């Protein structure tokens, strides 16, 4: 029994045929304009049709950033696309005519890791997707925890710092502003201003002083041992670990899987996260401790997870 998973991103949609073992049998991509919901829908319909020419599929899972309705049939709010209480399933069903399930993209990625990736051997896990922002998912006793209003796993908006950095959500101090690609970029730019004598490595990685520093430049500089870059990843890792200790106090998982683009930094990020987690964990030494591990499913996690969730 095959299903299709669709991942609606900011500038493109990806779709793929997935088998029950999480294997991606075929996939396709279409560029899209995030300001044009109708174009996005047309691209989804077209991608699914294209895949169905070669594969017999029974259902479609659609992953997107934002708050998904509890009934999994629409988007109540999306940060990047003009969806507000938007009946996405109804808009797609005419062109697809298969069962369709909508899911939050971080939830879908978390589910893929749980079923086929880093979490395949555990029962209770959390997933943290450290991309531009910080997405999350909670899987408890084999079940994806969606929440009463479809908003569980929105860890990125836990407040880490009272009166801290402004978040796009209108709040201050959200975890996402301390543990995400955007956070790394902003911290790096601030460091270039505040510590000009230490920032040459990062500036060079960015291509020179007239270029805008990004998080990826920090990772590149850290990989060749630049002290400031290493420090910045260390700081990011520490915020990550600290927040994971908060999650341990709420849902107490066995495993925290860290995915998203920033995880390319590997143990330069995860070791400080592990260390900070342990330092902040209450009753350490008297209670079991979760592991913090990198994601294994890569960029296809959202697509594969959505496909698998459509199956069940």
Least distance in angstroms from the C-beta of 308 to a second copy: 20
Candidates 3-11, 28-36, 53-61, 142-150; binding stretch for a second copy (CB under 8 A): 142-150
Which of 140, 145, 126, 163 is CA-nearest to residue 243? 126
In the region spanning residues 56 to 115, those forming contacts with a second copy, defined by CB under 8 A, are: 67, 70, 76-77, 84-85
Question: How many amino acids of this chain bind a second copy (CB under 8 A)?
Answer: 75
Least distance in angstroms from the C-beta of 70 to a second copy: 8
Least distance in angstroms from the C-beta of 28 to a second copy: 31
Give the dihedral of Cα atoms 165, 169, 171, 173; nearest 10 deg.
-30
Candidates 26-34, 200-208, 279-287, 298-306; binding stretch for a second copy (CB under 8 A): 279-287
Q: Out of 155, 259, 265, 310, name the contact with a second copy by CB under 8 A.
A: 155
In 233-297 the beta strands, taken as DSSP E runs, fall at 255-259, 291-294
Residue 223, token pair as written in the block: 């990989």
How many angstroms separate the CA atoms of 114 and 84, rounded?
29
In the region spanning residues 171 to 200, those forming contacts with a second copy, defined by CB under 8 A, are: 171-172, 174, 178, 186, 190-197
Judged by beta carbon, residue 45 or residue 244, the one nearer a second copy is: 244
Candidates 9-17, 103-111, 120-128, 216-224; binding stretch for a second copy (CB under 8 A): 120-128
Cα 133 to chain center, whole Å?
7
How many angstroms separate the CA atoms of 226 and 205, rounded?
10
Candidates 38-46, 105-113, 145-153, 201-209; binding stretch for a second copy (CB under 8 A): 145-153
Judged by beta carbon, residue 34 or residue 147, the one nearer a second copy is: 147
Positive or negative: CA dihedral 44, 49, 54, 55: positive
Instruction: Tell me which DSSP letter residue 99 carries.
Output: -
**Binding of a second copy at residue 244 (CB under 8 A)?**
no
Instruction: Tell me which DSSP letter residue 279 carries.
Output: H
Least distance in angstroms from the C-beta of 121 to a second copy: 12
Judged by beta carbon, residue 47 or residue 187, the one nearer a second copy is: 187
Candidates 46-54, 56-64, 103-111, 240-248; binding stretch for a second copy (CB under 8 A): 240-248
Judged by beta carbon, residue 60 or residue 192, the one nearer a second copy is: 192
Matching residue, tokens 């970029």: 185
Stretch (H or E) spanning 152: none
Candidates 30-38, 102-110, 210-218, 274-282; binding stretch for a second copy (CB under 8 A): 274-282
- Separation in Å, CA 169 to CA 89, 159, 173, 174, 205: 25, 12, 11, 9, 31
DSSP string, 18-65: E-TT--EEEEEEEE--TT-HHHHHHHHHHHHHHHHTT--EEEEEEEES
Least distance in angstroms from the C-beta of 275 to a second copy: 11
In the region spanning residues 197 to 236, those forming contacts with a second copy, defined by CB under 8 A, are: 197
Q: Out of 200, 280, 296, 299, name the contact with a second copy by CB under 8 A.
A: 280
Least distance in angstroms from the C-beta of 149 to a second copy: 3
Cα 19 to chain center, whole Å?
22
**Binding of a second copy at residue 121 (CB under 8 A)?**
no
Neighbours of 163 (CB within 10 A): 8
Least distance in angstroms from the C-beta of 257 to a second copy: 14
**How many alpha carbons lie under 13 Å from residue 256 in its C-beta half-sphere?**
28
């Amino acid at each position: 029994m095959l299903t299709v998973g669709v991942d609606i991103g900011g500038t493109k949609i990806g779709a793929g045929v997935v088998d029950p073992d999480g294997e991606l049998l075929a996939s396709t991509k279409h560029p899209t304009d995030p300001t044009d919901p109708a174009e996005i829908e047309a691209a989804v319909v077209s991608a699914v049709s294209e895949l169905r020419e070669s594969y017999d599929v029974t259902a479609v899972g659609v992953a997107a950033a934002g708050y998904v309705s509890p009934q999994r049939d629409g988007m109540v709010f999306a940060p990047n696309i003009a969806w507000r209480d938007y009946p996405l399933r109804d808009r797609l069903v005419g062109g697809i005519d298969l069962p369709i399930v909508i899911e939050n993209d971080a939830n879908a990625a978390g589910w893929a890791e749980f079923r086929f990736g880093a979490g395949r051997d555990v029962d209770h896990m959390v997933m943290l997707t450290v991309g531009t922002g910080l997405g999350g998912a909670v899987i408890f006793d084999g079940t994806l925890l969606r929440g009463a209003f479809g908003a569980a796993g929105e860890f990125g908006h836990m407040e880490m710092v009272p009166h801290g950095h402004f978040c796009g959500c209108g709040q201050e101090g959200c975890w996402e502003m301390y543990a995400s690609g955007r956070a790394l970029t902003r911290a790096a730019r601030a460091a270039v201003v505040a510590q000009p004598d230490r920032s040459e490595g990062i500036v060079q990685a960015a291509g020179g002083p007239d270029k805008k520093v990004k998080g990826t430049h920090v990772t590149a500089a850290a990989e060749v041992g630049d002290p400031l870059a290493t420090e910045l990843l260390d700081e990011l890792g520490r915020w990550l670990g600290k927040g994971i200790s908060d999650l341990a106090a709420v849902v107490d998982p066995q495993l925290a899987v860290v995915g998203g683009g920033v995880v390319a930094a590997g143990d330069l990020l995860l070791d400080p996260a592990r260390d900070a987690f342990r330092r902040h964990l209450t009753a350490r030494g008297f209670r079991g401790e979760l592991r913090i591990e990198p994601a294994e499913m890569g960029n296809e996690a959202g697509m594969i997870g959505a496909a698998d969730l459509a199956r069940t």
